[in-house]
Amino acid sequence: MSTTQTNKIEIIESLTSKIKEVNFDNLSFGSVFTDHLFECDFTNGEWQKPVIKPYAPFLLDPSTRVFHYGQAIFEGMKAYKDTDDAVWLFRPDENYNRFNKSAVRMAMPEVPEEIFMNGLHQLLQLDEAWIKKGKGNAMYIRPFMIATGTGVIANPSNDYKFMIILSPVTSYYSGDVKVLIAEHFSRAANGGIGAAKAAGNYGAQFYPTVLANAAGFQQVIWTDDATHTKLEEAGTMNVFFRINDTLLTAPVSERILDGVTRKTLIDLAKSEGIEVEIRPVLVSELVEAAKNGTLKEIFGAGTAAVVSPISGFSYQDVYFELPKIEKSVAIQLKDKLTNIQNKLEKDTFGWTVKI
């Protein structure tokens, strides 16, 4: 290994690379990781010297707080390589700001922008060869932080570890997606941590989703915890509904994540002259629109899949198949967004940031 120091980050380079062992034409999402990772510890009330080093497991004490009290947060981002081999991030400031909002909600220290952004840029520069050109190819970026203090007393940890790992990905295709509208389970509650990218939010979704899978559905559309009458998110994504020619999506709240893809699609839709209403969407409204033929599309929006069209939904044991749409708004917006991310169209919004 060789060691250097750049902009206060110690860089320990791997002597060998795994890249030749990877089949980039057959990647399972989030299962392959690059040669290096970024790491910075928070101890004694301050952030320590950050380091980029070879990707490898690390040891934790059995009493480490993250295992017992769930102080863990993360983000999902992507980097893209254009036809001139330049590497671009998409709205990284949004992810950075949301990461620290999650940290505050989970009683964790905020990560300084210099550590987050410099670490991200230098890690991507070091493992740039893993980022492949071509629409659909990207580098999935997972910044995360865990509580590393020891002891099983039920208090916030004093020590934390912030890390960034990288995973090359190709186009995310989930096949035909049928969803079950939740009548009992909720993703989050008022006063809870639904607006944070907390690990526990996702763990809590697994059981209701397993039940939906057993019933023949790929995902759950979550409803509000108080009345189960308002549609909130689809699986781990924000969700949009197209009734006639209007896009509807729920406003962000304590229960609903402020998705970067969600807000991007809203801006793109408005720029394309598509009417958008950000308001509570009722289950009864969706069912009525499905019955009278005005419901045209439902789709999820998130970093991994960008846009995930939904083919039908079930509510109270009644299944509603959506019509096949020739001019899908979901596909139109996805193409526009991925073209901007891959620098195939001009970014008039100022969303892309060069590495």
- Under DSSP, the state recorded for 150 is -
Q: Please tell me whether residues 302 and 335 are part of one structural domain.
A: yes
Looking at the structure, tell me whether residues 239 and 213 fall in a common domain. Answer: yes
209 and 304 together in one domain: yes
Report the alpha-carbon distance of residue 47 to residue 41 in Å, rounded.
6
Would the pLDDT of 11 be above 70? yes
355 in a structural domain: no
Kindly report, residue by residue over 43-81, the tens digit of the pLDDT.
Answer: 999 999 999 999 999 999 999 999 999 999 999 999 999
d(C-alpha 40, C-alpha 212), whole Å: 39
More confident residue, 30 or 149: 149
- Whether pTM > 0.85 for this model: the answer is yes
Dihedral sign, CA of 73, 117, 121, 345? positive
Q: What is the pLDDT of residue 174?
A: 67
Give the tens place of pLDDT for each residue, 218-239: 999 999 999 999 999 999 999 9
Structure-block tokens of residue 331: 């596909």
Residues 155 and 18 in one domain: yes
Same domain, 146 and 255: no
Asked if the structure places residue 323 within a domain, the reply is yes
Q: Which of 106, 134, 169 is the last residue of a domain?
A: 169
Among 125, 140, 169, give the residue marking a domain's end.
169
Tokens (6 digits) for 126: 């070091």
Q: Report pLDDT for 2.
A: 53
Query: Is residue 51 one of the residues assigned to a domain?
Result: yes
The CATH number covering residue 88 comes to: 3.30.470.10
For residues 252 and 254, give the distance between their C-alpha atoms in angstroms, rounded to a whole number: 7
Tell me whether residue 42 is in a domain: yes
Residues 162 and 254 grouped into a single domain = no
Whether residue 346 is contained in a domain is answered as: no
Amino acid 47: pLDDT:
98
Pair 137, 203 in one domain: no
Please state, rounded to an integer, the average pLDDT across all residues of the chain: 95
Q: How many domains does the chain have?
A: 2
Whether residues 69 and 155 fall in one domain: yes
Q: How confident is the model at residue 126 (pLDDT cuts 50, 70, 90)?
A: very high
The encoded tokens of residue 97 equal: 């700001």
- Same domain? 245 vs 291: yes
User: Are 48 and 165 members of one domain?
Assistant: yes
- pLDDT bucket at 7, cuts 50 / 70 / 90: low
**Residue range(s) defining the domain that contains residue 65:** 2-169
- For residue 100, report the phi and psi dihedrals to the nearest 5 degrees: -75, -30
State the Cα–Cα distance between residues 148 and 68, nearest whole angstrom: 11
CA distance 101 to 171: 29
Last residue of a domain, one of 132, 149, 169: 169
Q: What is the pLDDT of residue 354?
A: 97
**Token pair recorded at residue 184:** 């009992």
Strands 87-90 and 352-354: what pairing? antiparallel
Residue 264 scores a pLDDT above 90: yes
Q: Please list, residue by residue across 122-137, b when 16 or more beta carbons sit within 10 angstroms of its beta carbon and e when fewer do.
A: bbbebbeebbbeeeeb
* Alpha-helix runs per DSSP H in the chain: 65-69, 92-105, 113-126, 199-203, 206-214, 260-271, 283-292, 329-341
The domain spanning residue 324 has which CATH number?
Answer: 3.20.10.10
Within a domain: residue 354? no
Closest among 289, 287, 220, 224 to 250, alpha carbons compared: 224
**In-domain check, residue 195:** yes
CB atoms within 10 A of CB 160: 25
List the alpha helices (DSSP H) in 106-219.
Answer: 113-126, 199-203, 206-214
Query: Angle, nearest 10°, between helix axes 329-341 and 260-271?
Result: 110
> Is the residue at 351 inside a domain?
no
Q: How confident is the model over 135-188, as pLDDT tens digits? A: 999 999 999 999 999 999 999 999 999 999 999 999 876 678 999 999 999 999
Please state, in angstroms and rounded to a whole number, the distance separating the CA atoms of residues 197 and 206.
16
Encoded tokens for 225: 């915890």
**Are 266 and 224 members of one domain?**
yes
Tokens 């979550």 found at: 222
Asked if 182 and 321 sit in the same domain, the reply is yes
Exposure b/e, 78-93, CB count within 10 A at least 16 = b:
bbbbeeeeebbbbbbe
Q: What is the pLDDT of residues 288-305, one digit of tens each?
A: 999 999 999 999 999 999
- Mean local confidence (pLDDT), 244-254: 96
Q: Which letter does DSSP use for residue 76 in this model?
A: -
